[in-house]
Amino acid sequence: MRGPQSEKMAKKQQRSKSKPVRKTDAKNKPVNKQKPQAPEPLLSLSEPEEVEEPHENVFPIVGIGASAGGLEACTELLQNLPPNPGMGFVFVQHLDPKHASLLTELLQRHTTMAVQEATNGVKVEPNHLYVIPRNTHISLLRGELSLTPRMSSPAPHMPIDPFLRSLATDRGSMAIGIILSGSASDGALGMSAIKSAGGITFAQSSETAKYDGMPRSAVAAGCVDFVLSPKEIAQELARLGQHPYIARSRPRGEVESAPAVAEAIDRILIMLRNATGVDFTLYKPSTLKRRILRRMALRRIENLDRYITKLRSDSSELHALYEDILINVTEFFRDPEVFEALKEIVFPKIVPSHDTAGPIRIWVPGCSSGEEVYSIAMVLLEYLGDRK
């Protein structure tokens, strides 16, 4: 009798058997020791990463954040996009809560894409631009926009960070963040979330921004991949739309065979180990593939052989790849089942063995930015209750 897991495996094997195999597939080639004459390998993106990835054929979504001077910058960006960029766009602008917004009408004059004010529950479509309404918070969940009323608070209204964080969670490595002209720092945290999820980030250059506070804050946070003018951002988006890292809708048959990809990745890991002393061979293969392909997209390279050549000739790119693989991916209570296990299994064994007046020391190795430590401390205090 099969369990649920074996049923899944059986179905997966059946699907793989039913797929047509190209004549150029590695399985149909004679086995020999010579290097096969095949196209330079691209990466397969079929495995999940740390952040839940969108389903096949889901398009990228671009989150654009702006404040003062943002209308002019967004207009320039839209004017330089191709007619059908193949992406969905959401524009989150700081707005006066008491005055009607004309953003939708103003932006529609400068693009052939459909421009509409966002409504609750609307599904984001490619080649559409959605504009935040006044007096609201906006987020993305399963490809749909969610609107909630803006709460009264003495704190500054910062709608860009929450939206970009939700975009990172929903789209993973197919999230794209852009920060245009504006004062203060809204957007920097959201851009960090997008980069952690494997997405790509842009900030408007200071010399072209009417107010450069927001772009500078994002750049200072170390989470921006490109610092460009709005026109250059549009041109880069058009290029990325054709890169295999973003253009996931291309047929799977265009992706080179797994053995060729695995061999290329092994060569890259050896180079990383020799340069940094760090062995990444035990990392999840899907994580390595996406981080490598992300760097390829940023360097405008579309195949692994050319990227390997780049790594051999450019030590700074090798270090950049190393940093990208080690990027912080963390949040409070990131793995809920782990914290449940702490409360149910670990803490009951630790607490009775200690005098209530004595310390309980918990070590967190490799903690990236503190969320793990505080999460464990809070769970322990909840477990101890009155005994704490």
Residues 221 and 265 grouped into a single domain: no
pTM for this entry: 0.74
Residues 354-370 as b/e (b if ≥16 CB within 10 A, e otherwise) read: eeeeeeeeeeeeeeeee
Residue 135, CB-side half-sphere exposure with 13 Å CA sphere: 7
Q: Say if CB 259 and CB 26 are below 8 A apart.
A: yes
Residues 343 and 300 grouped into a single domain: no
Q: Which of 144-153, 161-170, 350-359 has the highest mean pLDDT?
A: 161-170
Residues 74 and 181 grouped into a single domain: yes
Concerning whether 99 is annotated as a catalytic residue, the answer is no
Residues 215 and 86 grouped into a single domain: yes
Q: Which of 9-18, 221-230, 279-288, 345-354 has the highest mean pLDDT?
A: 221-230
Catalytic member of 44, 67, 173, 192 = 67
Residues 276 and 154 grouped into a single domain: no
Lowest mean pLDDT among 52-56, 199-203, 312-316, 354-358: 52-56
**pLDDT at res. 15:** 47
Residue 353 lies in a domain: yes
Q: Say if CB 300 and CB 330 are below 8 A apart.
A: no
pLDDT digits (tens, 9 = 90+) for 179-227: 999 998 999 999 999 998 899 999 999 999 999 999 999 999 989 999 9
**pLDDT at res. 244:** 83
Residues 232 and 276 grouped into a single domain: no
Concerning whether 94 is annotated as a catalytic residue, the answer is yes
The identity of residue 379, as a single letter, is V
CA atoms of 361 and 67, how far apart (whole Å): 46
As given in the structure block, the two tokens for residue 228 are 């460009």
SS3 assignment, position 59: coil
Residue 12 lies in a domain: no
Lowest mean pLDDT among 52-56, 68-72, 268-272, 309-313: 52-56
Lowest mean pLDDT among 171-185, 250-264, 341-355: 250-264
As given in the structure block, the two tokens for residue 186 are 């809204």
CA atoms of 111 and 155, how far apart (whole Å): 35
CATH of the domain at 123: 3.40.50.180
Range of the domain at 182: 61-240
- Specify the higher pLDDT residue, 314 or 47: 314
DSSP 8-state code for residue 343: I
**pLDDT at res. 388:** 63
Residues 104 and 152 grouped into a single domain: yes
**88-93 and 114-117 as β-strands: parallel, antiparallel, unpaired?**
unpaired
Residues 350 and 381 grouped into a single domain: yes
Residue 261 lies in a domain: yes
Residues 24-50 as b/e (b if ≥16 CB within 10 A, e otherwise) read: eeeeeeeeeeeeeeeeebbbbbeeebb
Residues 188 and 318 grouped into a single domain: no
Of 60, 64, 59, 61, the residue nearest 233 (C-alpha): 64
Residue 283 lies in a domain: yes
Residues 316 and 368 grouped into a single domain: no
Residue 141 lies in a domain: yes
DSSP 8-state code for residue 26: G
pLDDT band at 252 (very low <50, low <70, confident <90, very high): very low
pLDDT band at 27 (very low <50, low <70, confident <90, very high): very low
**pLDDT at res. 370:** 81
pLDDT band at 57 (very low <50, low <70, confident <90, very high): low
Catalytic member of 94, 170, 173, 212 = 94
The identity of residue 234, as a single letter, is A
Catalytic member of 186, 196, 243, 257 = 186
Question: For the chain, what is the domain count?
Answer: 3
Question: Which of 240, 273, 306 represents a domain boundary (last residue)?
Answer: 240
CA atoms of 286 and 228, how far apart (whole Å): 30
Residue 52 lies in a domain: no
Residue 294 lies in a domain: yes
Residues 182 and 95 grouped into a single domain: yes
Residues 143 and 205 grouped into a single domain: yes
Concerning whether 139 is annotated as a catalytic residue, the answer is no
- Mean pLDDT for 51-59 is 55
Question: Which of 240, 271, 293 represents a domain boundary (last residue)?
Answer: 240
